Structure 1
Amino acid sequence: MGAASQLRRRTRALTPPGAEADVRCEACGSGEAAAELMLCDGCDRGLHIFCLRPILPRVPAGDWFCPSCRSASSKPTASSMTKKPMQFPLVQTKIVDFFKIQRSPAAPESSEVKKRKRKPAGALVVSKKKKRKLLPFNPSDDPARRLRQMASLATALTATGAVFSNHLTYQPGMAPRSANRAALEAGGMQVLPKEDVETLNLCKRMMERGEWPPLLVVHDPIEGFTVEADRFIRDLTIITEYVGDVDFLRNREHDDGDSMMTLLSASSPARSLVICPDRRSNIARFVNGINNHTPEGRKKQNLKCVRYDVDGECRVLLVANRDISKGERLYYDYNGSEHEYPTHHFV
Structure 2
Amino acid sequence: MVSTMALRKRTLAPKPISEEPKSKKRSESKKEEDYCDACCENCGSGNRASELLLCDKCDRGFHLFCLRPILVAVPKGSWFCPSCSKDYKPTGFPLVQTKIVDFFRIKRSSSSAEKLNPDSQKKRRRNSGLVMSKKSRKLLPYNPSEDYIRRLEQMASLATVLTATETQFVNKLTYVPGMAPRSANCASLEREGMQVLSKEDAETLRLCKNMMERGEWPPLMVVFDPLEGFTVEADKYIRDLTIITEYVGDVDYLRNRENDDGDSMMTLLSAADPSKSLVICPDKRSNIARFINGINNHTSDGKKKQNVKCVRFNVNGECRVLLIASRDIRKGERLYYDYNGYENEYPTEHFV
Q: Please tell me the TM-score bracket, short chain as reference.
A: 0.7 to 0.9
TM-score, with length taken from structure 1: 0.83
Partner of residue 37 from structure 1, selected from 39, 49, 52 = 52
CA displacement 1:107-145 (0-9 Å, x = unmatched): 2455166257459xxxxx9xxxx7411110000000000
Shift >6 Å, 4+ stretches: 11-14, 16-21, 292-295
1:10 alignment partner in structure 2: 3
1:111 lines up with 2:111 in the alignment: no
Q: CA deviation at 1:215?
A: 0.2
2:344 alignment partner in structure 1: 339
Partners of 2:221 and 2:232 within 8 A in 1: yes
Which consecutive residues of structure 2, in runs of 5 or more, have no partner in the other structure?
A: 8-28
Q: Mean Cα displacement is larger for which, 285-294 or 144-153? A: 285-294
Higher relative contact order (CA 8 A, sep 6+): 1
Partners of 2:142 and 2:244 within 8 A in 1: yes
CA displacement 1:41-89 (0-9 Å, x = unmatched): 6766432212223221x22375563427974xxxxxxxxx842101100
1:225 alignment partner in structure 2: 230
C-alpha distance 193-18 of structure 1, shift in aligned 2 (>3 A): farther
1:28 alignment partner in structure 2: 43
Partners of 1:38 and 1:59 within 8 A in 2: no
Distance between the aligned counterparts of 1:64 and 1:250, measured in 2? 25
Distance between the aligned counterparts of 1:345 and 1:325, measured in 2? 26
1:240 lines up with 2:253 in the alignment: no
Partner of residue 317 from structure 1, selected from 309, 322, 340 = 322
1:168 lines up with 2:173 in the alignment: yes
1:274 lines up with 2:279 in the alignment: yes
Partners of 2:154 and 2:222 within 8 A in 1: yes
Distance between the aligned counterparts of 2:164 and 2:236, measured in 1? 25
Percent identical pairs in the alignment equals 68
Two-structure CA RMSD over aligned residues (Å): 3.1
Partners of 2:129 and 2:140 within 8 A in 1: no
The SS at the match of 2:233 is strand
1:100 alignment partner in structure 2: 105
Partner of residue 213 from structure 2, selected from 208, 221, 225 = 208
CA displacement 1:178-228 (0-9 Å, x = unmatched): 000001111111111111111111000000000000000001122111100
1:183 alignment partner in structure 2: 188
C-alpha distance 217-45 of structure 1, shift in aligned 2 (>3 A): same
Which consecutive residues of structure 1, in runs of 5 or more, have no partner in the other structure?
A: 1-7, 72-80, 120-124
Q: Which has the higher helix share?
A: 2
1:65 alignment partner in structure 2: 79
The SS at the match of 2:321 is strand
Question: Which amino acid is 1:243 matched to?
Answer: V
C-alpha distance 297-309 of structure 1, shift in aligned 2 (>3 A): closer
Partner of residue 147 from structure 1, selected from 135, 152, 155 = 152
Aligned length: 321
CA displacement 1:232-279 (0-9 Å, x = unmatched): 001110000000111111111222222111111111111111111111
Q: Mean Cα displacement is larger for which, 96-105 or 171-180? A: 96-105
